[in-house]
Structure 1
Amino acid sequence: MKASAAQIRAAVDKPNPATRLYLFHGPDESGAAELAERLARALGPEAERVDLDMKSLREQPGRLADEAASMSLFGGVRYVRITGVEEGAGEAVALLLGAEQAGNPVIAIGPGLKASGKLVKTAIAAPTALTFACYVPEGIDAARLATTVAREHGLRLTGDVPQRMATATGGDRAILSREIEKLALFLDAAPDRPRDADGAALDAIGADLGDTELFHAIEAVLDGRVAEIGTELAQLGDGTAIPLLRQLARRLMTLAELRGDMDKGASIEEVLEKHRIFFREKAATGRALRRWNAAQIVRAIDRVRQTERALMHSGSAGEVLADAECIAIARAAARARG
């Protein structure tokens, strides 16, 4: 069965024992992971997780159905999770859906799967499966997502806060959820005690640094000035890793949009004027457009977002991760010739 956004959120928050497979596909891997985490929480803190990979599914297609039907060692709740699912899992999924019994739900995440592919179509046709296509929300959809997630934490976002949060997180559901959790904690909000969250509250939990403070570091990264980037990062001081990565992601996303127009035939001067690039950034943006091609920009955006997600995890290397990624991107820029 193919689920809508509302249906899938309701389904993962209150799992149906009859559903054997939850298949999350599409490019928004963060969104798929967030849905998988919600389903795991709904199954309870004592739920046992069994991880499988594509290698094991190819070599032993019947193992997926076996694991789905197996009882937990201690008789509790159990579920199976597969990441990086590919079309090669088709036989394993068919055996799962066709098995006589399968008491443990399977969560499958396949960012590379196509909606028109055989695996997704098989799951859509099965009454015991749910499929959902995960795409990175943009524009008004991203703002709506911020409002929806906030409501689940007892927050009513007011004014331009939904748009600000959507823009700051780049539509990344995992980062958005963590930022909303921080805001809910700050306001002591919960579903049973809702609170209004305005711009002042958002600023209070740590507003991003302005472009002025970060411009030189980001310019050095995009210019590929490897010899200077260390000095620029050191001048920012502690506590700037997340603002730096977010501003860098925003600049890269702007470059991606401009580069798209250039690839359709527009000149650098034309795209700078069309998108009304701030005069202080025009020279640096022009240099970046001459250096970076579309594929390189997309890879850089993905790496920056992955680094920010890694920073959110407890036990991470902290700001060292941001510095290392900025240096890596600067080195890539030094080699790049758009």
Structure 2
Amino acid sequence: MKASAAQIRAALAKPGPDIRLYLLHGPDEAGAADLARTLGKAMGPDAERVDLDGAQLKGDPSRLADEAAAMSLFATARHVRVTTAGEESLEAFTTLLNADRAGNPVVAIAPSVKTSAKIVKLALESPRAMAFACYAPTAADAERLAATMAGDQGLRLAGGVARRLVETTGGDRAVMAREIDKLALYLDASAERPQDLEHAALDAVGADLGDAEMTRAIDAVIEGRVADLGTELALLQQAGTSPIPWLRQLVRRLVTLADMRGEIDRGEAVDVVMKRHRVFFREEAQTAKSLRRWSPTMLSTAIARVRAAERAIMASGNAGSVVAEAAVVALSQAIARRN
């Protein structure tokens, strides 16, 4: 069945025996991961979580149903999380939904599938599944989300604080959640002890994720300025910033370059393409230079590597910002060699 944002969050916060599969599909992988964590919290701190991915389900389609029906080794609650699910998971999802019994809920994150995908259609048509499309929120939606998340932590937001939270986290739900957790701890706030969140608290402990700082790091990657990139990454790290927002900005820049490069390769003039994409006139020369440096293959590879770095950072037990830094330094070095 199809779920709204409120329905999917409520269902994950209080999972019932009727729903076996929660399918979170669409490009907002951070939003999907945040929703998946809602299920983990609902299962309790002692719950056992089984992690699978699309490749494992393709090789062993019956495993998902087996894991969903298995008892926990530690006699605690149990749930299954599937990451990078795609059409290769269709047989596994079908087996799960058709099984005689399940017991342990399954949440699956499918960032690359479209609404027309077979696994989405399966979930929409099954009374034992819920499907929710995850898209990056608009600015207004993100502000409402920030206010809701803060309210859950006992924080009453002063005017303009929600907007500032969105701006400083790049609208990334996972980063926003960490910032709100930090602010709630700083103010000793909870649902039982509400506190007012003023701008002063953000000034004291909030992340400094200025657009200018992130833009300088992204420019250094795109232009192959390895030494400058090292300096900018050090500044971001000193500020305690999460790499998620600037990784996403970098992906957007690379995708735009890929789109522009494709139009040029189809015979359109460079100046026409840049005008269509509203390139600022002071950035036209550097953009044209980047379009000459980056081949379609390199752009495709770079996008895949940056997205892989983001997924690695969001995984449990990750190595932190070093994963992002290693990925972008390698890209910058590759472009520097091409020059």
Give the equivalent residue in structure 2 for 1:81.
Answer: 81
Give secondary structure in 1 for the equivalent of 2:132: strand
CA distance in 2, matches of 1:286, 1:46: 55
**Structure 1 pair 160–286 and aligned structure 2 pair: CA distance change class (3 A):** farther
Give the equivalent residue in structure 2 for 1:324.
Answer: 326
Letter in 2 for 1:334: A
Unmatched runs of 5 consecutive residues or more in structure 2: none
Give the equivalent residue in structure 2 for 1:36.
Answer: 36
Unmatched runs of 5 consecutive residues or more in structure 1: none
Alignment of 1:242 with 2:225, yes or no, is no
Displacement, 1:188?
1.7
Give the equivalent residue in structure 1 for 2:175.
Answer: 175
Give secondary structure in 1 for the equivalent of 2:238: coil
**Structure 1 pair 142–286 and aligned structure 2 pair: CA distance change class (3 A):** farther
Percent of paired sites with the same residue: 50
Give the equivalent residue in structure 1 for 2:23.
Answer: 23
Give secondary structure in 2 for the equivalent of 1:116: coil
Displacement, 1:88?
2.7
CA distance in 2, matches of 1:255, 1:57: 31
CA distance in 1, matches of 2:297, 2:209: 28
Greater CA drift, 2-11 or 112-121: 112-121
Displacement, 1:241?
5.8
Q: Given that residues 258 and 300 in structure 2 are in contact (C-alpha distance below 8 angstroms), is that contact kept between their aligned partners in structure 1? A: no
Q: Given that residues 172 and 245 in structure 2 are in contact (C-alpha distance below 8 angstroms), is that contact kept between their aligned partners in structure 1? A: no
Q: TM-score, normalised by structure 2?
A: 0.78
Give the equivalent residue in structure 1 for 2:185.
Answer: 185
**Structure 1 pair 111–239 and aligned structure 2 pair: CA distance change class (3 A):** same
Q: TM-score, normalised by structure 1?
A: 0.78
**Structure 1 pair 166–284 and aligned structure 2 pair: CA distance change class (3 A):** farther
Give secondary structure in 2 for the equivalent of 1:127: coil
**Structure 1 pair 197–97 and aligned structure 2 pair: CA distance change class (3 A):** same
**Superposition map of 1:109-148 within 5 A:** 109-148=109-148
**Superposition map of 1:255-294 within 5 A:** 267=272, 270=275, 287-288=289-290, 291=293
Give secondary structure in 2 for the equivalent of 1:242: coil
Give the equivalent residue in structure 2 for 1:208.
Answer: 208
Greater CA drift, 244-253 or 151-160: 244-253
Greater CA drift, 13-22 or 48-57: 48-57
Give the equivalent residue in structure 1 for 2:162.
Answer: 162
Letter in 1 for 2:330: A
**Structure 1 pair 313–125 and aligned structure 2 pair: CA distance change class (3 A):** closer
Count of equivalent residues:
333
**Structure 1 pair 149–296 and aligned structure 2 pair: CA distance change class (3 A):** farther
Greater CA drift, 196-205 or 31-40: 196-205
Displacement, 1:187?
1.9
Give the equivalent residue in structure 2 for 1:14.
Answer: 14
Give secondary structure in 2 for the equivalent of 1:51: strand
CA distance in 1, matches of 2:36, 2:25: 12
CA distance in 1, matches of 2:59, 2:234: 53
Displacement, 1:13?
0.9
CA distance in 1, matches of 2:129, 2:30: 21
Give the equivalent residue in structure 1 for 2:4.
Answer: 4
**Structure 1 pair 240–109 and aligned structure 2 pair: CA distance change class (3 A):** same
**Structure 1 pair 309–157 and aligned structure 2 pair: CA distance change class (3 A):** farther
Give secondary structure in 1 for the equivalent of 2:165: helix
**Structure 1 pair 202–179 and aligned structure 2 pair: CA distance change class (3 A):** same
1:289-333 deviation per Cα after TM superposition (whole angstroms, max 9, x unaligned): 665589977876776677578668897655644543442232244
Q: Given that residues 24 and 110 in structure 1 are in contact (C-alpha distance below 8 angstroms), is that contact kept between their aligned partners in structure 2? A: yes
Give the equivalent residue in structure 2 for 1:220.
Answer: 220
